[in-house]
Structure 1
């Protein structure tokens, strides 16, 4: 038996759910969302996303930050279904562009993304060495 659970919009101290749309769209702050797929009582897939804001596109978006399907459960449409749940959540929030990334060496993930109809966009990712450079020399 397959079921998915959405873990998002954390509760306030009073026990009420917070507004993901308000915080994401108003100030660009991120909020973590997660979807887990279970077969019986075993988690076999998960997706994690944040609500973010693109300055270049001038619009909020759902950034699919992590997406993983256990090897034994790949090619069974579980990943596609979980992706659809994340996509539906973005549509419900009216977050039109949805973005995610995968390392260039992960050919299986790249094929999966292309099967979903996604278009690759070239991008360079930089990570600064905080112990080097002009600030470190002074």
Structure 2
């Protein structure tokens, strides 16, 4: 999954858990063993939501390499 985002006026209505349940069912149908996604460490609301779902986090390093002009 690339990104899960609900606008503020749609949060707290139970849509997130419904979406994730449907996503899990689709993953099972496709024979997948897991769903992966990421969120920035500062996104505390998302982290609480994912924790409530029972999702486990894995530490990950993200690298960036500028491609500016060569010397």
Q: Which TM-score applies when normalising by structure 2? A: 0.89
Structure (1 or 2) with the greater strand fraction: 1
Provide the residue aligned with 1:118 in structure 2.
55
CA distance in 2, matches of 1:116, 1:76: 15
Structure (1 or 2) with the greater helix fraction: 2
Over 2 Å off, 4+ runs: none
Unaligned runs of 5+ in 2: none
Aligned: 1:96 with 2:33: yes
- RMSD (Å) for aligned C-alpha atoms: 1.2
CA distance in 1, matches of 2:56, 2:27: 17
Instruction: Select the residue among 36, 39, 64 that pairs with 1:127.
Output: 64
CA distance in 2, matches of 1:88, 1:116: 14
Aligned: 1:107 with 2:54: no
Unaligned runs of 5+ in 1: 1-63
Which of 1 and 2 has higher RCO (CA within 8 Å, sep 6+)? 2
How many residues of Structure 1 are paired with residues of Structure 2 in the alignment?
71
